[in-house]
Structure 1
Amino acid sequence: MSAPARPPRYWYEGQVPWHARLLSELYGGAIALRMRLFRLRLLRRIRIDRPVIVVGNLIAGGSGKTPLAIVLVERLRAAGWNPGIATRGYGRDEAGTPRWVDEATDPALGGDEPVLIARRTGVRVRADADRVAAARALVAAGCDIVVCDDGLQHYRLRRDIEIEVVDGRRRYGNGRLLPAGPLREPAARGDSCDFRVLNVGDDEIEAGFGEWPMRLVADRAQPLAGVRPMALSAFAGKRVHAVAGIGNPERFFDTLRSHDIAVVPHAFADHHRYVAEDLRFGSDLPVLMTEKDAVKCLAFASGRHFSVPVRAELPEAFWVALLDRVAALKPKA
């Protein structure tokens, strides 16, 4: 079941309509049946000949998966691995056609998040609705470990490590399954994951027991029509148009406000496909947007348009624990 373009308010507060509760019960029954078929091995889980790490979440919408996948790839490479990214490439044209994605790929064909990952990391990125086929293609291309950006619910590909990413502010919303709430699976599913990462953003949120805090740090602004980045603090005390087509646009707006930037907010649906008209706001204020939005606006960007990249920071103890687990998966010489 797919999520609506913008989450209903009742996912997080207020009364849930009766028809949404009914559909949620039917959806929950379908999930339970599917899991039972996997447990009975009537549906197969397929193991590829390399370790697989899945970075995902339980709710529909963003939680910080992609920034974590990016830094995970960087850490794996620093530890001597040659990682590749397997992804569905949500919202791309020709979604049924497998595709290699690089920094020059049209986001309409490769998906906004895969193109962003390719631009930031330079690793092999394979977009394919069939995660098993994507993982096999990466292995054939020389990757010795596969990272799935999203995919907790894609059980056909057997995985070695699961990382659940949770939005620290919204958590699991009202705790209901789609479409009555934001959950793709029951919240208890997260207990079976190997690591739970809490995206605390710039909020004063404390991670609970068994949760690893992740902070998304933004301190630069990259001109879309230029080369040299500038400090985000250069916009302090100024008004800007802020553009966000992500799962939780308010998180981006609050990040800018935390730098004393006066925000004129423009929220679009997650994975929105921009046209030049979308960025014409009737004034010549600077336009700041997320990296995910920026990759779709390069063709018509001007000197007023900037992306604000974020980097994920986690405790060093998290990386020690994770990389120890990964090292144990390396084949014996």
Structure 2
Amino acid sequence: MHAPDFWQTDNMIARALSPASWLWRAGAAWRNATTTALHPGCPVICLGNFTVGGAGKTPAAQAIYDILAGVGHQPHFLSRGYGGTQKGPHRVDPTSDTAHDVGDEPLLLSQKGPAWVSRNRAAGADAITVAGADVIIMDDGLQNPSVIKDLGIVVIDGATGFGNGRVLPAGPLRETLASGFSRVRAAIIIGKDKTGLAKQMPKHVAVFHAKIRPENASDFTDQKVLAFAGIGRPGKFYHSLRDCGAEVVIARDFADHHFYSPDELAALRKDASRAGAMLVTTEKDLVRLPLGDRHGIKTLRIALEFDDLPGITQLIETVFANGA
């Protein structure tokens, strides 16, 4: 889904929907109260969002993996596998699994390192420990109470922040800020902090700033492109292309995690040809395409770059120093 505009301001629609948010909050409270949390025996670093929509969690998880691997650890990713049919626990095989099987994000993460999907997160964490990992990077599990986390990190889009600060459906929050902050020790703000996020952080939360760095920006400089994306915030992708010097002559939005039909891809190719433009999409969108349909479609490869890499590395290493 794409975030509605009214989620960004405290308006009449948001106020009218606020009573419905109590149902969402009550359901979460019941789940927390009736779930027994387990620890797999190796450290669990959990990255997640307080809000729905794209905040940059996948590149953040990849960056944490690089930090851990760089200092000699053996991290594995754990994901629910949203959008896939595999219930798990299942180790993703990037050579044979598809996004229909395991979801787009786990498939993309598996290109970085070992990735697992499991609807039952506790069972998935146990399977990862048996497989020999010495640390788990739990993808999007802050609101999941079944696994005890040694380090919770919230990833936040600096441009949109927490929106109007209200819980679904009145706003973009999955939970109240008080609830969310009680379970994290750090926040990663991606991009410019346009809503004053750093000032809203509790004292116990370490704040790290990061930016998305294109790795192949020169591929798009002075090029006409037809850009298409089925992600939480497609506008971020188009803006990144323009920052690379591309002329985005056509931009096509699709639903988050959208699986493209042959007719849709044919229409995109036809429109790009007419406009004299190259077809460009995100890495996450590309893995949702069958291998045979990827020819002629370029991707903007991205990586997350921390302003204070030593600082976040030191924080991550505390989960081992504490004997987790």
Q: 2:233 aligns with which of 232, 243, 248?
A: 248
Match for 2:321: what amino acid? A
| Contact 1:124–1:138 (CA under 8 A) maintained in structure 2 | no
SS in 1 for 2:189: strand
Separation of aligned partners in 2, 1:330 and 1:124: 23
Contact 1:207 1:213 in 2 (8 A): no
Aligned 1:146-295 pairs, distance under 5 A: 146-192=136-182, 193-200=184-191, 208=198, 210-220=206-216, 232-263=217-248, 264-279=250-265, 280-281=267-268, 282-284=271-273, 285-295=277-287
Indicate whether 1:11 and 2:7 are aligned: yes
Higher helix share: 2
CA-atom RMSD, angstroms?
2.2
Asked if 2 retains the 8 angstrom alpha-carbon contact of 1:163 and 1:195, the reply is yes
Is 2:71 the counterpart of 1:82? no
Letter of the 1:249 partner, please give it.
Answer: P
Please tell me whether residue 322 in structure 1 is matched to residue 315 in structure 2. yes
- SS at structure 1 position matched to 2:13: coil
- TM-score normalized with structure 2 length: 0.87
- Residue 113 in 1 paired to residue 105 in 2? yes
- Aligned counterpart in structure 2 of residue 103 of structure 1, from 72, 87, 94: 94
Indicate conservation of the 8 Å contact 2:35/2:145, yes or no. Answer: no
Task: State which drifts further: 47-56 or 187-196.
Answer: 187-196
The ranges of structure 1 where at least 4 consecutive aligned residues each deviate by more than 6 angstroms after the TM superposition are 203-207
The alignment partner of 1:283 has SS state of helix
**Counterpart among 94, 116, 120 of residue 126 in structure 1:** 116
In the alignment, the residues of structure 2 paired with residue 106 and residue 302 of structure 1 have an alpha-carbon distance, to the nearest angstrom, of 13
Aligned residues, how many?
Answer: 307
Residue number among 24, 27, 30 corresponding to 2:24 in the alignment: 27
Residues 64/17 of structure 1: CA separation in 2 closer, same or farther (3 Å cut)? closer
One-letter amino acid of the counterpart of residue 269, structure 1: A
Unaligned runs of at least 5 residues, structure 1: 221-231
Maintained 8 Å contact 1:190/1:196: no
Determine the C-alpha separation between the residues in 1 that align with 2:175 and 2:197: 22
3-state SS in 1 of match to 2:198: coil
Letter in 2 for 1:102: D
Alpha-carbon separation, structure 1, partners of 2:232 and 2:194: 20
User: Cα distance 1:215–1:141, how it changes in 2: closer, same or farther (>3 A)?
Assistant: same
Amino acid at match of 1:243: F
CA distances 1:23-75 after superposition (whole Å, capped 9, x unpaired): 2122223334444x2xxxx5321111111110111111221111111111121
1:43–1:26: structure 2 CA closer, same or farther, 3 Å change rule?
A: same
For residues 294 and 320 of structure 2, the distance between their equivalents in structure 1, rounded to whole angstroms, comes to 46
Q: Secondary structure at the match of 2:110?
A: helix
Percent identity at matched positions? 31
In 2, Cα distance between equivalents of 1:310 and 1:127:
23
The one-letter amino acid paired with 2:23 is L
Residue type at the aligned position of 2:160: R
